[in-house]
Amino acid sequence: MQDLAYQWMAQQQQAGRRLCLMLEANNENCQSLMAARDPSQYCPLYGETAAAGLASRGPVILMLEQIREPALVNHLQSPEANRGWLGSLPSDDLGVVIRHWRERLLVGPEGEKALYRFHDNRTLARAMAYLPAEQWPIYLGPLTSVCYWHEGRWCSRDNPAPGEYPVPDPAPWLQAPNPQTATILQANILRYLLAEHSEDLAALVEFHDPRIWLAQVLEQARSWQWCSPEQLEFLVVGRLEEATRGSVIRWQPLKGEAPTQHFERVLEQWRKEGLGDE
């Protein structure tokens, strides 16, 4: 299967481009690749940033010369570990690539910054699938092409306009949906219900699959734009009590009602009728 990755690398080299590898530092293959290189041929990307304390475990970008280098071969044999991806450059100047990704490293408002895991091939794949081709340049920057493992196969995409680009605000790639988010949310909610509303959950199991029921409730929350923890807890617990205790509430929004107004109205109705207090 890795033959497709080698074909891509050979094509890039034939086109006169230089190869690079974005790889998580905290694994044996990356350590071997760094040990075989001059420091000018690789760079820990968290270094000289606010995340410098994590540099030994964060991503490293390395220049590649020999596509059959043993540590590289080992890495490509286990792409499902999701530790990195391949890229190509018009020259061996790593500086512009380092600057590009460091500028995209921290996301979120001041005081609530988080690390964007651009070195994870799943993150790259989601961004490339979500962004229209005309936005690939602002995401890939100086990279001329990328090759990455996605859904059981190697994929490659060419950058239509490699170059240096400022980070747009908002950054469109941060809007790419994470397919794992819904799964994680559902698992957390089910754990909460098991701990705090175990009797109602046990009653629900007698006539509903809790996962299917919860997926339907969360889809309702999405359609109503009820996204906050308070709104989700209210809707899930309310729907659970409705399903198991026979309580009735008028959930549907009124015509022209904003999501916040809708939530506050239903919550007030719930309180007035004394529901949720049994």
The percentage of residues in the chain with a pLDDT greater than 70, rounded to a whole number, is 96
Query: Which has more confidence, 108 or 35?
Result: 35
Query: Which has more confidence, 275 or 33?
Result: 33
276 has a pLDDT exceeding 60: no
- Split at pLDDT 50, 70, 90, the class of 207 is confident
- Split at pLDDT 50, 70, 90, the class of 98 is very high
- Split at pLDDT 50, 70, 90, the class of 33 is very high
For the chain, the structural domain boundaries read 3-174, 180-272
What the block records as the tokens of 69 is: 């280098």
What the block records as the tokens of 108 is: 């979120």
DSSP state of 29: H
192 has a pLDDT exceeding 80: yes
- Mean pLDDT of the chain, nearest integer: 90
Residues composing the chain: 278
Q: Which residues pair with 154 in a beta bridge?
A: 149
154-160 long-range contacts (CB < 8 A, ≥24 apart) are 154/1, 154/2, 154/4, 154/5, 154/8, 154/79, 155/125, 155/128, 156/8, 157/128, 160/133, 160/134, 160/136
Among all chains, which residue has been given the structure tokens 């949310």?
185
- The average pLDDT across 150-178 equals 93
Of the given ranges (24-38, 40-54, 262-276), which has the lowest mean pLDDT?
Answer: 262-276
What the block records as the tokens of 243 is: 């399903």
228 has a pLDDT exceeding 90: no
Query: Which residues have C-beta within 8 Å of that of residue 90, sequence separation ≥ 6?
Result: 16, 17, 18, 142, 144, 162
Among all chains, which residue has been given the structure tokens 């196969």?
153
Per-residue b or e along 234-263, where b marks 16 or more CB atoms closer than 10 Å to that residue's CB? bbbbbbbbebbeebebeeebeeeeeeeebb
Query: Which has more confidence, 55 or 249?
Result: 55
Q: Which helix (H) or strand (E) holds 63?
A: strand 59-64
263 has a pLDDT exceeding 80: yes
| Spatial CA neighbour of 147 closest among 128, 173, 166 | 128
